[in-house]
Each structure stands twice: as structure tokens, then as C-alpha cells.
Structure 1
Amino acid sequence: MRMEANRYRATANPESTHRSPILRIDSGTADGHQRLPTHSHPEPMLMWTATATVMGIAGSREWLIPPGYGLWIPGGVEHTGTVLHAGEMSIVTFAAEGCPITWSEPTGIEVGTLLRELVAHLDVVGPAHPTRPHAEALMFALLTPLATQDVHAAVPTDPRARAVAERLLADPADQRELAAWADEVHASVRTLSRLFRAETGLSFASWRTQVRMRAAARLLAGGASVSSTARAVGYRRPSAFVDAFRRSTGQTPGTYLPRSAGRGRLSTPPDLRSVRQPSPSDDASSRLRST
């Protein structure tokens, strides 16, 4: 991805008694549909977006990072990312030693108005600026972890269940139920149900819901309307889709729609959570969601 960087002065002023744990702040425009090669580095980093939408992979998890949210990546964790919707974003890199954040796993955060303004301020002032220690302390205090919610759709390894999974990944709108799929792959309904449960940890209905919500989040982030997204993932009525999306993500589909930049360098972020994995309690109701 391309970043038109406003580079923060990387080394602290030797005359200053305050040694900043921030090594670098890069803020700029990320081009759409570009992928960052998988890599790692010893320094922890915070990636957050003002108007871009990014699908990140870190620590064997996938993270949908929409405007106003970010991802903390500890040092040494391999990560990559794809920009789903172009826009403004920032990457803050911290020193491997001396950083007060000690989270050992990738962690999602919400970037509210105060936090984003603090990052913007720290991007402008130098390491010796008298406000810097207080601004950094407040910034770290505001980095509060969100509940982590996985958007990874595990694919079964058994060839029969995998054939079903691959077809649904290619076409989440496919309305066929488990009995029809069982005939398709020459397996019993009981066998296919058992395979999905054993190899994905989910029932077939919950797994399909997860795939649909994941596909929907990508379409919405790319600018598709709620009604067209609903049809694309198998819902005849947008209201049924909105209800299912809210149950699965805790948010409305409109939250995932790209937002235009506001006044100034950074825009006001919307409210959003990452897509969660459906729970077994979703099984019974998921059959009603496509009606």
C-alpha cells in the first residue's frame, strides 16, 4: 500500500530528559486493493484508519479495520493487510523496549476523537516539545482493547465438506440447505453435519452465516448498498439481512459503509466492531435469515 507519509522525527532530542517510546508516525493515503507483503519486525505498531477500510491478517486471525478503528500488532508477529477501500490511515511504530503497552496478542482498539487528535498532535510536535510527555501518557491511557472477534472462516479438510464450503465461499447467496448439499457430494446429512461441526467448530448453518457476514462486510466496505449486499449474500429482504448482520456483528450494515473525509487531516470515525464468530445459539435462527 502507498503512504504519502508525514514522517515523524525518529530519534529523540538528546537534550530532552524525556525519551519518547514512539519511533515513527506515518500518516497518509492508502491506495485501494493493494496488499502489504507478509512480514514482521521487533517493534510493536498501531495501525488505524481515518477513512480507509483494511482487511488485516495478524497472529493467525483476520481483522476488518474500518474507519475509526485500529489494530495493535506486537513486535515479532507476522502481519499483512489489504486495503479494501482507499482512504486516510496512520501507522505508529513504537520502540521494542520501553513501550508501556505490553499486549502479547494482536488487539483491536477504537480510535475516538481525543485519541486521533493526540496522534495528530504527536505527528506535528518534536520529541522535545513540553507537551509531549503528557500527550503520550494520555494516548497510552486511551488505548483500550476491544473484544476480539474472529472473521476467519475455517474450511473443512474432508473432501465432501470442503466441496460444499468452497462453493459457498464462491457464492454465499446459494440457498441450498444441508440435505441438498449432501445429495450433491454423495454423503448423508448426518455425516455432512458431523464433518462441519468437527472440522470448523460450527454447525453448517452457523458456518454459512459466518461466511455470509464476512462477504457482506467486504461488499459494504467496497461501497455496495445494503440492499444489493443483502441480495449478494442470500437475503431476499434487506430487513432480514440487517437483522442478521446486527446479531452477528453487534452493528448495523451502514457502519461498514465507507465514509468520506471530513474537515482537516483526519475524519470523524464511525462506530464499529469486527465480525464475530456465530455462536451455537445462532443455529436455529440462521435458517430464517435468508427469507
Structure 2
Amino acid sequence: MRHVANIDPEMANGVIAIGGQFTRGVLAGLHEHAEHLLSWSATTTVSLRTRHRDWLVPPTHALWMPAGCPHSVEVFRSGRGYAVVVSPENCPITWTEPTGVLVTPLIRELIVHLDQHQRPHHTRTAAVSLLLSLLEPVPDTTFHVPLPDDPRTRAIAEALIADPADQRDLAMWAAHTHSSVRTITRLFTRETGMTFAQWRTHARVRAALIHLAQGSSVGATARAVGYHKPGAFAEAFRRVTGQHPSVYR
């Protein structure tokens, strides 16, 4: 849903865009901000993790992190990124959960403009107003994997995130957690909104995004996340993201 943002100069003065270089491997532990944060990975790739979700933010997208939401950050590919800091006071965007947005060429130019023009003036106020009005959410499944809470399903999820190529089927995972297939099936659907097979596909695609961002070929990425045939991997990737995996390399 698009927000019509009529921003007064005082509100615009509270919006700051900060650009900088991100180094692969850098990790920021769990923390939160008093302001809203729009994180855009211009040429870097970062992961932002909350208690229930693990978001991967490729250069094509940005993530709106609402004020007061605890999260951690990990950099998977070195490059340049931007953070747009927005004061919650009088902010027209009311999203209460982390929300992904597609970064269009216009949004990209507005963020760069705000980074280069920090001093308040009327054109900056107009840029802030336009930027906030253009932010529209994309489907959550584009680049995040929901994490279940139950200890049994959480253990399975953590294991598959650590090794997405693990080929154990649902029956084997149920035995591993001393549960029944029926119980694990019910828990995955209830806690993630997906079947086990759907969730594993999303986890593999999420892992694939990291490999692709680091320059791996489509074939090597497919093998790394558990697919024997690149064609099957490309089809699964397209179902989740709407794009061929080569777009993200």
C-alpha cells in the first residue's frame, strides 16, 4: 500500500541518509534503534535477523526496520550500502514489522541524493516526501525465511539453514527430533504458514541468494543448496522470487 507523504520541513530535517562501505564477515549482534531504518544494499548483500525471521537483503531491495525492533546484521558480500534514518514522529509509514521494498531507479537516486545533501532545504524536503510516498511492500517470501518457535521444528530449521543441501526427508527429521511425521507437519504449517517442503525450498533459495551474490555460477549454487539439476533449481528459484537466479549474480 502506497503512503501519501506530506512532509513538513521539521520532519524532513529528522531524515538522514548515510552511505558507507560494508566488509564481508562483519557481524552486529542483537540491537535496536529509536528511529525507523530503511536499509538498502546498493552493491553489498546483508542479512538482518529478528527473533522470528531471517531476512536477506540483495541489492535489488531494501528493508524497512521499524523503531524498537531488535535485530542483528551480518554482511555476506562487501560493497556499499545505505541506511535512511527516519524519526518515528509524524512519519506517514506505520509498518510495525520489518517490511521489504523493491528499490526502483527513482528510489535509488533519491537515497543517494539524500546522502549527498544533508543540509535542510526545500528540495531535500521534497525528496524525503517523494521517497516515503514511493515505498511499497513486496511479498514477504521474496527474501526471508520464517523461523518456527517449537524446539523440534526450530532444531530442524536451524540445521537446514546451516546446511541447506541436507537431503533428509520429513520422516528422517521427525525421527531425529523424536517426533512423528504428523506432528512435524502440523507444527511447520502452524508456525511458518508453509509445509515442510515449501519451507525447505525457501530456505534453499535464501541460501542460494548468498552464493549468487558472492559470484557462484548457477550450477555450483544449485549443488551447494541441494539440487542435482540446475534446471530444477532455477524453476524453484523462479517460483519463490519471480526471477531466474542469474539475475542475482
Query: Which TM class, normalised by the smaller chain length?
Result: 0.7 to 0.9
Matched, 1:152 2:146: yes
Confirm or deny: 8 A CA contact 1:153 1:210 kept in the other structure.
Answer: no
Q: Judging changes above 3 Å, is the alpha-carbon distance between structure 1 residues 219 and 40 closer, same or farther for their aligned structure 2 residues?
A: same
1:194 match: 182
Q: Judging changes above 3 Å, is the alpha-carbon distance between structure 1 residues 40 and 166 closer, same or farther for their aligned structure 2 residues?
A: closer
Which structure has greater helix proportion? 2
Distance in 2 of aligned mates of 1:252 and 1:113: 20
Give the residue type in structure 1 aligned to 2:17: I
Q: Judging changes above 3 Å, is the alpha-carbon distance between structure 1 residues 238 and 119 closer, same or farther for their aligned structure 2 residues?
A: same
The offset of 1:165, in angstroms, is 5.8
Q: Judging changes above 3 Å, is the alpha-carbon distance between structure 1 residues 236 and 79 closer, same or farther for their aligned structure 2 residues?
A: same
After superposition, residues 40-51 of structure 1 pair within 5 angstroms as: 40-51=32-43
Distance in 2 of aligned mates of 1:122 and 1:54: 21
Q: Judging changes above 3 Å, is the alpha-carbon distance between structure 1 residues 162 and 63 closer, same or farther for their aligned structure 2 residues?
A: closer
Confirm or deny: 8 A CA contact 1:196 1:203 kept in the other structure.
Answer: no
Q: Judging changes above 3 Å, is the alpha-carbon distance between structure 1 residues 192 and 224 closer, same or farther for their aligned structure 2 residues?
A: farther
Give the residue type in structure 2 aligned to 1:196: I
Describe the superposition over 1:207-236 as per-residue Cα deviations: whole angstroms up to 9, x where unpaired: 433332232222222322110111122222
CA RMSD in angstroms comes to 2.8
After superposition, residues 1-291 of structure 1 pair within 5 angstroms as: 18-19=9-10, 20-58=12-50, 60-149=52-141, 150-154=144-148, 157-158=151-152, 168-178=160-170, 181=172, 185=176, 192-201=180-189, 202-257=194-249
Confirm or deny: 8 A CA contact 2:52 2:147 kept in the other structure.
Answer: no
Of structures 1 and 2, the larger Rg is shown by 1
Describe the superposition over 1:97-119 as per-residue Cα deviations: whole angstroms up to 9, x where unpaired: 12222222211111211111112
Unaligned segments of structure 2, at least 5 residues: 1-7
Distance in 2 of aligned mates of 1:240 and 1:140: 39
Give the residue type in structure 2 aligned to 1:227: G
Distance in 1 of aligned mates of 2:129 and 2:241: 32
Secondary structure of 2:64 counterpart? strand
Matched length: 235
Q: TM-score of the superposition, structure 2-length normalised? A: 0.81
Distance in 2 of aligned mates of 1:197 and 1:99: 41
The offset of 1:164, in angstroms, is 6.2
With 18-27 and 29-38 compared, the bigger mean Cα shift is at 18-27
Q: TM-score of the superposition, structure 1-length normalised? A: 0.70
What's the % identity of the aligned pairs?
A: 42
Give the residue type in structure 1 aligned to 2:151: T
